[in-house]
Structure 1
Amino acid sequence: MVTDTDTGTDTTYDVIIIGAGPVGENVADRVRQGGLSAAVVERELVGGECSYWACIPTKALLRSGAALRAARQVPGAREALTGSLDVAAVLRRRDDFASHWNDQSQVSWLGQAGVSLYRGRGRITSTRVVEVTGGNGATTVLNARHAVVIATGSGALIPDVAGLREADPWTNREAAAAAAVPGRLAILGGGAVASEMATAFAELGASVTMLVRDGVLPRAEPFAGDLVVDSLRDAGVSVRLGTETTSVQRGPDGTVHIGLADGEQIEADEILVAAGRVPRTQDIGLDTVGLTPGARLEVDDTLRILAADGAPVGGGWLYAAGDVNGRALLTHQGKYQARAVGDVIVARAKGEPVQDGRWGRHVATADQRAVPQVVFTDPEIASVGLTAAAAAAAGLRIRVVDQDLGAVQGSTLHADGYRGQARMVVDEERQVIVGFTLAGPDVAELLHAATIAVVGEVPLDRLWHAIPAFPTISEVWLRLLEAYGR
């Protein structure tokens, strides 16, 4: 059922989910598979940030350039190239993957899954009660028998820079949905979004300047950021490290004037703010349950929202999954949380045992220990678990083993001049890998093997018998284990 809201309607479901992005959809699906009824509330497009303004359209923007780079690195294929990227074709492909910002297919999927959809803004008004205000101003009161789940995601952080908000900056949304490529693009930030969009728009013909205060990919292993900076600069991107932006102003002709702390002025046609994310928890009724609107939601191991005293809110009927709890701001991790939340709500509703042990099905253990992530820059950066610095800070006695990916036979066959690096971080007490990072062309598809090794805590002497196929880039595993054994 899809409804905008009908005045006076009072409907009861087992579970109500506020937010119909990938996380909310997966919670609803899991609840339905467990035999409970579910309704989701969404004020924008069903499918959320990932489908329309983040993961999917941005990777579509990046893929054409990556394919062209790959062809240029292989003799025989290189000679077949006759031109540069067709920008219009890239944008059309991006539009197709974003479903032209039409969510009808996702709405249909909800219907097939037996999930009711209410379009409008959802607010918690009392215990297990959500009021939905539709676009027509009418309201619907939804009652939950067992649980309410907040899955409203996150939005772009706009730093407190003089004039920035008034300059109408781009966020990831405007960049992902851009109808044209600006001649000059300034990017404020150095994280994954900033680095990926610098890569994409430089390949699409923009003159790109990155204004970076805290380093490029500062949470990754240092070599990852260094390789990406080198590549961006080779592509013509001006990467300004250690830069503090102090003012932004958009002139009458649309030109953006950016002031830096050292007095320099930079001009651009657009400025993209990619300086972090904030939870979308404003105006959803958190104050009615004693929580602070706009705040990140603290959760226990089964993702129940906790009050200031550390106890579950209202005895445990309110949950938070995905970006709103701040544990791991990645779509795949949010969906992982969604499965755990859906299953634990069903178990509690049916009076079944809650499996909340370290690796129980009702907890999101990996969000604290083994988060995989890929940054689709040139080179790709794929990582899981802890960096060497994070592992040392956690008090582990570690050994770090590095390997030049360009020296692996499979890499030299994959592309001429292949550049990359791999690192494994070993917990010496347990002889298991706690962190793994790969940097190089097309390394994203190697990441899941590392994720299994970290999550499964596979002993190194057992990994020695996992023989990589030859000649593939996966041979890096053998080289790393050989280096460790020396």
Structure 2
Amino acid sequence: MADTTDEFDVVVIGAGPAGENAAAYAIAGSDRTAALVERELVGGECSYWACIPSKALLRPGHVLAAAKAMPGVTADGLDVAAVLARRDSFTHRDDTGHDDCSQVDWAEDNRITVVRGHGRLAGERAVEVGGRTLRARHAVVLATGTTAAVPDVPGLRAALPWTSRDATAVTEIPGHVAIIGGGVVACEAATWLAALGARVTLLVRGHALLAGNEPFAGERVAAALAGTGQVEIRFGAQPERVHRPDVADTGEGRIHGGRVTVELGGGGSVEADEILVAAGRAPHTGDLGLATVGLEPGYLPVDDHLTVDGVPGEWLYAVGDVNHRVALTHMGKYQARVAGDVIAARADGRPLDSPRYTALADHDLAPQVVYTAPEVAAVGLTEAAARERGLTVSAVELDIAVAGSSLARDDYAGHAKLVVDETTDTLVGATFVGPDVGEQLHAATIAVVGRVPLETLWHAVPAFPAVSEFWLRLLEARR
């Protein structure tokens, strides 16, 4: 078959949430055209193997715990099959795999052409997909994301360990899982696996969970996990060798063979039915044709318009995890909206002097929720990070103990902390830990991004008897 060439205004490689948003915003309200290139599923990691399935697996355990903490409410336990079936309904998964038809329909309804296959750069404004070349009149956007990183531990890769994809697509609940890692993926996976009946051993190289957060966040999550009786946490645990004599490639989310043994540095070992690697991510750029535009594989630094550094002509953009600014789905979508607007403005010859054309929120303003039990919700800088940046800050913190939290559940236990820039009397960071505190985060995000003075926050009156009354208690503690 002869090679073919097609022309679009915008070509996006990677059809996850960031890629979808970049394409949609770049052509919105115009007659511009966009192609969305995807080698796997339209909807990307988030829709099928990350945010959506993980939260579907976590929520039933949270609801059960809340029910058990409420006198007069009976709660027997989780129906594992029903939990997995509900997860599958969100990820459009059956025995034959995932179905991305609804995402493809969305793209087509928004005048975005879906191109199946592995896309690679082929020089300036050109993308090659199989024997087809897609040429972009205005922009190419890279939104290829990241993949799970597997440490170079002898025997680990040969053991066919689970990655986050297996954990979120779990169909067989192992009796005992060893998890390498102590970050968000490790802690969330430990939470839902324990709720579904597995015993879990967390092997944490450092000496804290969720090390990038305020220290009390990791401490409270660690205490809660240990308190389940299902989870053991080993800090300072460095895997040195992995043995699995009976390995079997049984498929995603299934136990990959016989028992696995993890030898630890300094002596000792852990034996489990499965091992899950949750030790970070690596950029998906190794086979992206970067050399054709003078770039090396790896993360792709960008400016605040999301234009890739080192490529002349302002035609190449990178959004989402691949640019290594903030590896969160909602931040990738935010970047994509900015990039899409920038592409549209440049295509129309409009100036970029409006704030909407500059990505600001991924500079120390990003919100994140860790859906453990308790949840961790944070935005902006920790106290330590603020001081490292040379800011003069103070902190106010207290336990969340108000009428609303007492009414929410009998065992409510939470903690809140604000980091205040003393020079401007504004918030630069906030961290909340407790049941469902993710629903409290957007108020803090608005205060941090909007640089709202604390004197003004006195007039933002929390409703009674809501959990959000703890905001008033925080302000009172700083009087």
TM-score range, shorter chain: over 0.9
Contact 1:289 1:314 in 2 (8 A): no
Maintained 8 Å contact 1:372/1:447? yes
1:304 maps to which of 307, 324, 337? 307
Structure 1 residue 241 displacement after superposition: 1.0
Letter in 2 for 1:231: A
Pair 1:28-2:28 in alignment: no
1:379 equivalent in structure 2: 374
1:268 corresponds to which residue?
A: 272
Q: Distance in 1 between matches of 2:70 and 2:171?
A: 32
1:68 is the counterpart of 2:61: no
Q: Which amino acid aligns with 2:121?
A: I
- CA distance in 2 between counterparts of 1:273 and 1:262 reads 20
Figure out how many residues of one structure are paired with residues of the other and give that number.
Answer: 462
Confirm whether residue 314 of structure 1 aligns to residue 312 of structure 2. Answer: yes
Question: Runs (4+) of structure 1 moved beyond 3 Å?
Answer: none
CA contact (8 A) 1:127 1:314 kept: no
Q: What aligned pairs does 1:63-142 form with structure 2 within 5 A after superposition?
A: 63-77=59-73, 80-81=74-75, 83-100=76-93, 101-133=98-130, 139-142=131-134
What is the RMSD of the two structures over their aligned residues, measured on CA atoms? 1.0
Query: 2-side partners of 1:197 and 1:120: how far apart?
Result: 31
Deviation at 1:34, TM superposition (A): 4.3
Instruction: Quote the offset at 1:247 in angstroms.
Output: 1.0
Instruction: Work out whether 1:412 is the aligned partner of 2:409.
Output: no
The residue type paired with residue 299 of structure 1 is V
The yes-or-no answer on 1:59 pairing with 2:47 is: no
Cα distance in structure 1, aligned partners of 2:295 and 2:5: 25
Q: Determine if the alignment matches structure 1 residue 424 to structure 2 residue 418.
A: yes
Per-residue CA distance 1:146-194 (angstroms, 9 max, x = gap): 1100000111111111111111111110111111111110100000000
**Take 1:54 and 1:363, find their aligned partners in 2: how far apart are those partners?**
28
TM-score, normalised to structure 1's length? 0.94
What secondary structure sits across from 1:208 in the alignment? strand
> For residues 178 and 249 of structure 1, what CA distance do their matches in structure 2 show?
22
Contiguous gaps of at least 5 residues in structure 1: 1-5, 134-138, 308-312
Classify the secondary structure of the residue corresponding to 2:356: coil
1:186-201 to 2 correspondences below 5 Å: 186-201=178-193
Q: What SS does the aligned partner of 1:303 have?
A: coil
TM-score by length of 2: 0.95
Aligned residue in 2 for 1:346: 344
| SS state at 1:44 partner | coil
Per-residue deviation, 1:417: 2.2
1:448 aligns with 2:442: yes
Q: Which amino acid aligns with 2:5?
A: D
Matched with 1:291 is: 295
* Equivalence for 2:321: 323
Provide Cα deviations, 1:47-71, integer angstroms capped at 9, x if missing partner: 0000000000010011111100000
Deviation of the 1:410 alpha carbon: 1.0
Q: Which amino acid aligns with 1:367?
A: D
SS in 2 for 1:288: helix
> 2 CA distance for matches of 1:283 and 1:374?
32
In the alignment, the residues of structure 1 paired with residue 122 and residue 27 of structure 2 have an alpha-carbon distance, to the nearest angstrom, of 25
Write out per-residue CA displacement over residues 336-378 of structure 1, whole angstroms, 9 at most, x where no aligned residue: 000000000110111100136xxx1111100012100000001
Distance in 1, matches of 2:219 and 2:190, equals: 15
Q: Does 1:223 align with 2:221?
A: no
Is the 1:255–1:268 contact (alpha carbons within 8 Å) kept by the matching residues of 2? Answer: yes
2:204 pairs with 195, 206, 212, which one? 212
Q: Which position in structure 2 is the counterpart of 1:310?
A: none
One of 152, 177, 199 as aligned partner of 1:185: 177
**Pairing partner for 1:476 from 462, 470, 477:** 470
Residue of structure 1 in register with 2:242 after alignment: 248
1:254 deviates by: 1.5
Q: Percent same amino acid at aligned positions?
A: 56
Check conservation: 2:125, 2:135, Cα contact below 8 A.
yes
- Specify the alignment match of 1:258 in structure 2: 262
1:146 corresponds to? 138
Whole-angstrom distance in 1 between the partners of 2:307 and 2:26: 16
Partner SS state of residue 387, structure 2: helix
The AA in structure 1 aligned to 2:302 is V
Question: Amino acid of the residue matched to residue 119 of structure 2?
Answer: G
What is the Cα deviation at residue 9 of structure 1? 2.0
Q: Using the alignment, how far apart are the partners of 1:287 and 1:184 within structure 2?
A: 44
Unaligned runs of 5+ residues in structure 2 are 247-256
Point out the more displaced range, 191-200 or 270-279. 270-279
What residue is the counterpart of 1:433 in the other structure?
A: 427
Cα distance in 2 for residues equivalent to 1:251 and 1:477: 55
